[in-house]
Protein backbone atom coordinates (compact mmCIF):
# COMPACT_ATOMS: atom_id res chain seq x y z
CA UNK A 1 0.00 0.00 0.00
CA UNK A 2 1.29 3.46 -0.89
CA UNK A 3 1.90 5.80 2.01
CA UNK A 4 1.71 9.62 2.17
CA UNK A 5 2.95 12.12 4.75
CA UNK A 6 1.14 15.45 5.01
CA UNK A 7 2.62 17.95 7.48
CA UNK A 8 0.09 20.31 9.05
CA UNK A 9 1.03 23.69 10.48
CA UNK A 10 -1.02 26.51 11.95
CA UNK A 11 -2.58 28.38 9.02
CA UNK A 12 -2.56 25.53 6.48
CA UNK A 13 -5.00 25.96 3.59
CA UNK A 14 -8.07 23.88 4.43
CA UNK A 15 -9.10 22.88 0.91
CA UNK A 16 -5.60 21.87 -0.09
CA UNK A 17 -4.98 19.63 2.92
CA UNK A 18 -8.42 18.04 3.28
CA UNK A 19 -8.89 17.43 -0.44
CA UNK A 20 -5.56 15.64 -0.74
CA UNK A 21 -6.17 13.60 2.40
CA UNK A 22 -9.65 12.61 1.20
CA UNK A 23 -8.72 11.76 -2.39
CA UNK A 24 -5.65 9.75 -1.42
CA UNK A 25 -7.57 7.77 1.20
CA UNK A 26 -10.38 7.09 -1.28
CA UNK A 27 -7.69 5.71 -3.59
CA UNK A 28 -6.34 3.31 -0.99
CA UNK A 29 -3.32 5.33 0.09
CA UNK A 30 -2.38 5.29 3.76
CA UNK A 31 -2.21 8.96 4.77
CA UNK A 32 -0.40 10.17 7.87
CA UNK A 33 -0.97 13.77 8.90
CA UNK A 34 1.70 15.18 11.17
CA UNK A 35 1.84 18.26 13.37
CA UNK A 36 5.08 20.21 13.55
CA UNK A 37 4.35 21.30 17.12
CA UNK A 38 3.83 19.41 20.37
CA UNK A 39 0.08 19.77 19.88
CA UNK A 40 -1.73 17.38 17.55
CA UNK A 41 -4.61 19.83 17.15
CA UNK A 42 -3.76 22.18 14.28
CA UNK A 43 -5.87 25.20 13.27
CA UNK A 44 -6.31 25.91 9.56
CA UNK A 45 -6.27 29.29 7.85
CA UNK A 46 -10.07 29.38 8.04
CA UNK A 47 -10.43 28.32 11.66
CA UNK A 48 -11.01 24.60 11.27
CA UNK A 49 -9.11 22.55 13.81
CA UNK A 50 -7.82 19.20 12.62
CA UNK A 51 -6.22 16.56 14.78
CA UNK A 52 -3.02 15.26 13.22
CA UNK A 53 -2.28 11.56 13.34
CA UNK A 54 1.22 11.99 14.74
CA UNK A 55 3.99 14.38 15.67
CA UNK A 56 6.12 15.25 12.66
CA UNK A 57 9.44 14.31 14.27
CA UNK A 58 8.14 10.78 14.90
CA UNK A 59 6.29 10.32 11.60
CA UNK A 60 9.14 11.72 9.49
CA UNK A 61 11.32 8.75 10.44
CA UNK A 62 9.02 6.37 8.54
CA UNK A 63 9.21 5.64 4.82
CA UNK A 64 6.71 7.43 2.59
CA UNK A 65 5.99 7.21 -1.12
CA UNK A 66 5.07 10.89 -1.18
CA UNK A 67 5.36 13.93 1.04
CA UNK A 68 2.60 16.46 0.27
CA UNK A 69 2.82 20.06 1.46
CA UNK A 70 -0.40 22.09 1.59
CA UNK A 71 0.04 25.83 1.24
CA UNK A 72 -1.80 28.72 2.83
CA UNK A 73 -0.84 31.60 5.10
CA UNK A 74 1.01 29.20 7.41
CA UNK A 75 3.43 28.02 4.74
CA UNK A 76 6.41 29.82 6.30
CA UNK A 77 5.99 27.50 9.31
CA UNK A 78 6.98 24.62 7.00
CA UNK A 79 10.30 26.33 6.29
CA UNK A 80 12.19 24.58 9.07
CA UNK A 81 15.09 22.14 9.03
CA UNK A 82 13.07 19.03 10.03
CA UNK A 83 10.82 19.52 6.97
CA UNK A 84 13.79 20.36 4.74
CA UNK A 85 15.60 17.21 5.93
CA UNK A 86 12.54 15.04 5.24
CA UNK A 87 12.18 16.52 1.77
CA UNK A 88 15.88 15.96 1.02
CA UNK A 89 15.54 12.34 2.16
CA UNK A 90 12.50 11.94 -0.06
CA UNK A 91 14.46 13.20 -3.06
CA UNK A 92 17.53 11.07 -2.24
CA UNK A 93 15.29 7.98 -2.04
CA UNK A 94 13.79 8.80 -5.45
CA UNK A 95 10.34 9.20 -3.94
CA UNK A 96 7.62 11.66 -4.88
CA UNK A 97 7.34 15.21 -3.51
CA UNK A 98 4.21 17.35 -3.94
CA UNK A 99 3.42 20.94 -2.95
CA UNK A 100 0.54 23.28 -3.72
CA UNK A 101 -0.15 27.02 -3.55
CA UNK A 102 2.62 28.75 -1.54
CA UNK A 103 4.28 25.46 -0.57
CA UNK A 104 6.52 25.17 -3.67
CA UNK A 105 8.54 27.96 -2.01
CA UNK A 106 9.39 25.40 0.70
CA UNK A 107 10.83 23.13 -1.98
CA UNK A 108 13.07 25.96 -3.18
CA UNK A 109 14.38 26.69 0.32
CA UNK A 110 14.89 22.97 1.00
CA UNK A 111 16.99 22.73 -2.14
CA UNK A 112 15.09 19.74 -3.56
CA UNK A 113 14.33 21.14 -6.99
CA UNK A 114 16.69 20.60 -9.88
CA UNK A 115 17.57 23.80 -11.80
CA UNK A 116 15.54 22.76 -14.86
CA UNK A 117 12.44 21.51 -13.03
CA UNK A 118 9.19 23.23 -13.91
CA UNK A 119 6.74 24.19 -11.17
CA UNK A 120 3.59 26.17 -10.58
CA UNK A 121 2.54 28.08 -7.47
CA UNK A 122 0.17 30.69 -6.13
CA UNK A 123 0.60 33.86 -8.25
CA UNK A 124 1.78 36.06 -5.36
CA UNK A 125 4.57 33.56 -4.58
CA UNK A 126 6.18 33.64 -8.01
CA UNK A 127 8.81 36.14 -6.86
CA UNK A 128 9.87 33.72 -4.11
CA UNK A 129 10.85 31.03 -6.62
CA UNK A 130 14.27 30.82 -8.23
CA UNK A 131 12.79 29.84 -11.59
CA UNK A 132 9.94 30.61 -13.97
CA UNK A 133 6.53 29.56 -12.72
CA UNK A 134 4.00 28.00 -15.08
CA UNK A 135 0.46 29.36 -15.04
CA UNK A 136 -0.94 25.81 -15.24
CA UNK A 137 -3.12 24.46 -12.40
CA UNK A 138 -0.82 21.42 -11.91
CA UNK A 139 2.71 20.69 -13.09
CA UNK A 140 4.37 17.29 -12.82
CA UNK A 141 8.11 17.21 -13.52
CA UNK A 142 10.81 14.80 -12.45
CA UNK A 143 9.22 13.36 -9.31
CA UNK A 144 7.79 16.68 -8.16
CA UNK A 145 4.11 17.63 -8.48
CA UNK A 146 3.09 21.23 -7.84
CA UNK A 147 -0.34 22.83 -7.75
CA UNK A 148 -1.23 26.46 -8.28
CA UNK A 149 -3.93 27.34 -5.77
CA UNK A 150 -6.92 26.10 -3.73
CA UNK A 151 -8.99 25.94 -6.92
CA UNK A 152 -6.61 23.31 -8.29
CA UNK A 153 -6.72 21.13 -5.15
CA UNK A 154 -8.92 18.37 -6.62
CA UNK A 155 -6.88 18.05 -9.81
CA UNK A 156 -3.65 18.21 -7.78
CA UNK A 157 -4.85 15.44 -5.45
CA UNK A 158 -5.90 13.25 -8.38
CA UNK A 159 -2.54 13.74 -10.12
CA UNK A 160 -0.75 12.73 -6.90
CA UNK A 161 -3.03 9.69 -6.63
CA UNK A 162 -2.36 8.79 -10.27
CA UNK A 163 1.40 8.97 -9.66
CA UNK A 164 1.07 6.68 -6.64
CA UNK A 165 -1.61 4.19 -7.65
CA UNK A 166 -1.95 4.45 -11.41
CA UNK A 167 -4.38 6.03 -13.82
CA UNK A 168 -7.09 3.41 -13.28
CA UNK A 169 -7.36 4.10 -9.56
CA UNK A 170 -7.28 7.87 -10.09
CA UNK A 171 -10.03 7.70 -12.72
CA UNK A 172 -12.15 5.45 -10.49
CA UNK A 173 -11.87 7.95 -7.63
CA UNK A 174 -12.64 10.84 -10.01
CA UNK A 175 -15.75 9.01 -11.28
CA UNK A 176 -16.88 8.43 -7.69
CA UNK A 177 -16.52 12.15 -7.05
CA UNK A 178 -18.45 12.84 -10.28
CA UNK A 179 -15.70 15.02 -11.69
CA UNK A 180 -13.95 15.06 -15.00
CA UNK A 181 -10.98 17.21 -13.98
CA UNK A 182 -8.53 14.36 -14.57
- Chunked mean pLDDT (size 10), the chain, 182 residues: 97 98 98 97 98 98 98 97 98 98 96 93 86 90 96 98 98 96 84
- What's the confidence (pLDDT) of residue 129? 82
CB–CB of 36/121 below 8 Å? no
pTM: 0.96
Q: Quick one: DSSP state of residue 11?
A: T
Pairing relationship of beta strands 49-51 and 41-43 according to DSSP bridges: antiparallel
Residue 10: left if φ>0, alpha if ψ -120 to 50, beta else—which one?
A: beta
The sign one gets for the Cα dihedral 40, 30, 106, 120 is negative
Query: Is residue 73 in a domain?
Result: yes
Torsion of CA 91, 96, 101, 106, to 10 degrees: -10
Query: Is residue 56 in a domain?
Result: yes
- Which residues have a catalytic role annotated? 101
- What's the confidence (pLDDT) of residue 148? 97
- What's the confidence (pLDDT) of residue 89? 98
Query: Is residue 30 in a domain?
Result: yes
Domain with residue 143: its CATH number is 3.40.50.880
- What's the confidence (pLDDT) of residue 26? 98
Q: What is the residue range of 103's domain?
A: 3-176
Query: Is residue 182 in a domain?
Result: no
| Total domains present in the chain | 1
- What's the confidence (pLDDT) of residue 98? 98
Query: Is residue 102 in a domain?
Result: yes
Query: Is residue 181 in a domain?
Result: no
Amino acid sequence: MAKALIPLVEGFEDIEAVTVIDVLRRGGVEVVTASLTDELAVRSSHGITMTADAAFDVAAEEDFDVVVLPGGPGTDRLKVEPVFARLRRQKEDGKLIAAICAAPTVLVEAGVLDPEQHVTCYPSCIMDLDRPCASAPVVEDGGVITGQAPGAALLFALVVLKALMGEGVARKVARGLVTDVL
